[in-house]
């Protein structure tokens, strides 16, 4: 943190007390493409995060320096906090711009600030760098408006402005929608609600959640970056969301209580799936079965049945590959390499797909053999260099300084 404060002063000058806010990335253990269908998910927050070192000032301007892009950009907060963006803002600037926009519409008074942005959540990896950035940006605006706020969890900063962390997650989600990705609530929610040593089982309809302890003495979570970058705004993500909505509309004819795929029972789907176009049928089948897999996974963890949890992870990958069609040869290869390692309990792609990472559940003694197998085989077959992290569940967003 001291280095980030020093970096701020290098970029913007040695003025005042610099604050630091943090928004963590996340890995979703199971429950993929269920969040925007009103379903269940099981993510955990990561130590990898986006941090902003900031200083509030009196000008209605937000000035940012991105360490990752080595680029400086700014936008103005005009009358009644209306934004006056530059003609062609860099893509990374759009996230705090849209966060400021939705916070202003929520009734918060925005103050100008300057900030250095740094992060170690790999962009395009499926570990939700965008949500981490949105959450950190939101905290920066909350701190700029109340400089006396002490360091502590995001909940305290939100409460000081009359917000809950659940509402702040919804606002950050709305900001991402305006950037161009119609994401569900999971990424922003877990970034704000992460709990050390636990995943959470989140109901994306009512935002109720419960902790799911992860016994690190019996199994470790290994995230492997395929090296294949993706852009969700390219349209494939939004296309699948539209296909799910199409399925809901068609299935509602058989049950008027169906509002989202969450409401479609396996029995209802089995009885009427042939009323759906083939592609829509496959998308719906994945979501409906995946919601059940999250329920089964929570039950397995409560029972300490890690073998069953691992099998559910592998079943999830097959469904994402075959029915939702969001995998690829590199992700499939990483899953196959992992599953051949003794002591690996299960593996699947994580995140929206189209590249990014896999998540693997492995016995502690299998972690090093898994790492060696991936480093030996994956580059030879793909020409890509994977990155591997052994991850622990981390706390959620916070004002750190």
Are 2-213+395-399 and 220-391 the same fold in CATH? no
Please give the CATH number for the structural domain made up of 2-213+395-399. Answer: 3.30.230.10
Catalytic residue among 187, 225, 263, 323: 187
HSE value, Cβ hemisphere, 13 Å, CA-based, for 230: 26
* Residue owning tokens 């990561």: 46
Please check the confidence at residue 381 and state whether its pLDDT lies above 90.
yes
Name the percent of the chain lying above pLDDT 70.
96
Single pTM value for the model: 0.91
Which pLDDT does position 80 carry in this prediction? 46
CA distance 38 to 64: 35
Mean pLDDT along residues 22-46:
96
pLDDT tens-digit series, residues 110-152: 999 999 999 999 887 778 999 999 999 999 999 999 999 999 9
* Average per-residue pLDDT for the chain: 94
Every domain of the chain and the residues it spans? 2-213+395-399, 220-391
pLDDT tens-digit series, residues 297-332: 999 999 999 999 999 999 999 999 999 999 999 999
Which pLDDT does position 229 carry in this prediction? 83
Mean pLDDT along residues 91-119:
96
Which pLDDT does position 123 carry in this prediction? 83
Instruction: Please state, in angstroms and as integers, the Cα–Cα distance from residue 71 to each residue in 5, 74, 99, 140, following that order.
Output: 18, 10, 20, 19
Which pLDDT does position 182 carry in this prediction? 79
Catalytic-residue membership of 255: no
List 115's β-bridge partners, or say none: 54, 64
| Domain 220-391 CATH class label | alpha beta
Q: What is the DSSP string of 129-158?
A: HHHHHHHHHHHHHHHHH-TTPPSEEHHHHH
* Residue owning tokens 């300057």: 114
CA distance 58 to 62: 10
CB-based burial label for 16 (10 Å; 0-12, 13-18, 19+): exposed
């Amino acid at each position: 943190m001291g280095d980030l404060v020093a970096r701020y002063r290098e970029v913007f000058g040695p003025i005042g007390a610099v604050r630091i806010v943090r928004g963590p990335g996340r890995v979703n253990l199971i429950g993929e493409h269920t969040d925007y269908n009103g379903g269940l998910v099981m993510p955990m927050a990561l130590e990898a995060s986006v941090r902003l070192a900031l200083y509030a000032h009196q000008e209605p301007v937000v000035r940012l320096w991105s360490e990752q892009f080595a680029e400086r950009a700014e936008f103005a907060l005009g009358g009644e906090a209306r934004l006056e963006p530059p003609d062609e803002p860099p893509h990374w600037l759009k996230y705090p711009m849209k966060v400021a926009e939705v916070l202003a519409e929520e009734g918060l008074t925005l103050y100008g600030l300057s900030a250095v942005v740094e992060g170690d959540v790999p962009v395009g990896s499926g570990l939700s760098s965008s949500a981490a950035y949105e959450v950190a940006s939101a905290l920066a605006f909350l701190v700029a408006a109340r400089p006396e706020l002490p360091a502590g969890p995001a909940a305290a900063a939100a409460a000081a402005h009359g917000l809950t962390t659940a509402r702040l997650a919804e606002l950050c989600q709305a900001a991402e929608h305006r950037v161009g990705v119609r994401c569900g609530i999971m990424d922003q929610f877990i970034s704000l609600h992460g709990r050390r040593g636990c995943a959470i089982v989140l109901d994306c309809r009512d935002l109720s959640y419960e902790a799911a302890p992860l016994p690190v003495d019996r199994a470790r979570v290994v995230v492997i970056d395929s090296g294949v970058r993706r852009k969700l705004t390219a349209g494939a993500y939004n296309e699948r969301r539209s296909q799910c909505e199409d399925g809901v509309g068609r299935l509602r004819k058989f049950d008027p209580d169906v509002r989202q795929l969450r409401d479609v029972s396996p029995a209802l789907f089995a009885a009427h799936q042939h009323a759906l176009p083939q592609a829509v049928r496959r998308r719906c089948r994945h979501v409906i079965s995946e919601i059940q897999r999250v329920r089964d996974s929570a039950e397995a963890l409560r029972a300490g049945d890690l073998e069953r949890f691992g099998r559910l992870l592998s079943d999830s990958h097959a469904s994402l590959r075959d029915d939702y069609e969001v995998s690829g040869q590199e992700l499939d290869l990483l899953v196959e390499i992992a599953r051949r390692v003794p002591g690996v309990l299960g593996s699947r792609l994580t995140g929206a797909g189209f590249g990014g990472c896999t998540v693997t559940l492995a016995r502690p003694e299998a972690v090093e053999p898994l790492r060696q197998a991936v480093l030996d085989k994956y580059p030879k077959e793909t020409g890509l260099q994977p990155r591997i992290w052994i991850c622990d569940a981390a706390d959620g967003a916070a004002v750190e300084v």
